[in-house]
């Protein structure tokens, strides 16, 4: 059974077979309702962009040729092929390591108005600050899902900055139930990866001590 919850009288967050599916453009309420550790799926229009797209917008001051305000940006370099209809289709689209964009992400989120960032691995304080200030989240797509992600792609609706090359270009893509996406930084600035690092560091010394004791007992036998 499908249960639909309307947001702000116009946008919907759908619970479909126990999956939380958000549609673009996201409302601020939608995004602020998310917390680290939540698992979501998204439907609608997203864009891909990684190092060179961030550099053009932030360092070179170029205006984005597409409007991604309130939408999602995926740190990815998709593999794309031409179709007989003179269009393009996605073959595979796996996330790029998000930390590569960390130093530029605050300014990019500020300029682009993007609400949701998708990538691989964690991000740091620049991104967390932007999420707090502008009401955005960062999500990870589990590794090994490049083909699955391609199957979630309904259509490539456009491409800009193709002079950068296929992986670095700004691709506009329509997706359906893209996920699972795990929220790693929420609008409060809470950072799941950093919390896990602290927890692991706290347990590290205890584990080393326990291992040393076991080796000592074996050597003394």
Task: Give the range among 46-55, 66-75, 206-215 with minimum mean pLDDT.
Answer: 206-215
For residue 2, the model assigns a pLDDT of 43
The answer to whether residues 186 and 118 belong to one domain is yes
The answer to whether residues 207 and 123 belong to one domain is no
The answer to whether residues 125 and 77 belong to one domain is yes
Taking the C-alpha atoms of residue 46 and residue 93, their distance in angstroms, rounded to an integer, is 13
The answer to whether residues 79 and 108 belong to one domain is yes
The answer to whether residues 205 and 139 belong to one domain is no
The answer to whether residues 106 and 201 belong to one domain is no
Single out the residue of 71, 42, 56, 25 nearest to residue 169, CA to CA: 56
In the predicted model, what is the mean pLDDT of the chain?
Answer: 88
Using one digit for the tens of pLDDT, what is the confidence trace for 4-32?
444 444 455 777 667 899 999 999 999 99
For residue 17, the model assigns a pLDDT of 67
Task: Give the range among 49-58, 100-109, 150-159, 187-196 with minimum mean pLDDT.
Answer: 187-196
Say yes or no to pLDDT of 215 above 80: no
The answer to whether residues 105 and 210 belong to one domain is no
The answer to whether residues 94 and 39 belong to one domain is yes
Place of tokens 């080796």: 215
End-to-end CA distance of the chain: 63
User: Mean pLDDT throughout 157-186?
Assistant: 95
Q: Which residues are catalytic?
A: 54
Place of tokens 């939380």: 20
The answer to whether residues 7 and 50 belong to one domain is yes
- How many structural domains are present in the chain? 2
Residue-number span of the structural domain to which 205 is assigned = 193-221
Say yes or no to pLDDT of 163 above 80: yes
Say yes or no to pLDDT of 148 above 90: no
Beta bridge partners of 89: 81
The answer to whether residues 174 and 201 belong to one domain is no
Using one digit for the tens of pLDDT, what is the confidence trace for 76-115?
999 999 887 768 989 999 899 999 999 999 999 999 999 9
User: Mean pLDDT throughout 36-50?
Assistant: 96
Taking the C-alpha atoms of residue 127 and residue 101, their distance in angstroms, rounded to an integer, is 9
Say yes or no to pLDDT of 172 above 50: yes
Beta bridge partners of 214: none
- CATH number at 77 reads 3.20.130.10
pTM beyond 0.85: the answer is no
The answer to whether residues 155 and 216 belong to one domain is no
pLDDT-derived band at 132, boundaries 50, 70, 90? very high
The answer to whether residues 47 and 117 belong to one domain is yes
């Amino acid at each position: 059974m499908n249960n639909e919850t309307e947001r702000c009288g116009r946008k919907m967050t759908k619970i479909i077979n126990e999956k939380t599916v958000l549609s673009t453009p996201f409302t601020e309420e939608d995004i602020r309702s998310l917390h680290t550790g939540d698992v979501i799926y998204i439907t609608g229009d997203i864009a891909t962009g990684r190092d060179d797209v961030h550099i053009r917008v932030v360092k070179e001051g170029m205006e984005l040729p597409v409007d991604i305000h309130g939408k999602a940006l995926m740190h990815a370099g998709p593999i794309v092929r031409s179709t007989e209809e003179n269009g393009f289709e996605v073959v595979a689209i796996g996330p790029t390591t998000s930390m590569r964009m960390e130093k530029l992400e605050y300014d990019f989120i500020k300029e682009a108005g993007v609400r949701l960032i998708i990538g691989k691995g964690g991000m740091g304080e620049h991104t967390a600050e932007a999420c707090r200030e502008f009401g955005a989240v960062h999500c990870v797509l589990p590794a090994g899902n490049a083909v699955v992600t391609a199957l979630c792609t309904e259509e490539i609706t456009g491409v800009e900055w193709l002079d950068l090359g296929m992986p670095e270009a700004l691709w506009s893509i329509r997706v359906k139930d893209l996920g699972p996406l795990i929220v790693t930084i929420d609008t409060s600035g809470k950072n799941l990866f950093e919390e896990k690092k602290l927890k692991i560091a706290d347990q590290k010394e205890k584990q080393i001590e326990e291992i040393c004791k076991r080796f000592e007992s074996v050597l003394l036998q």
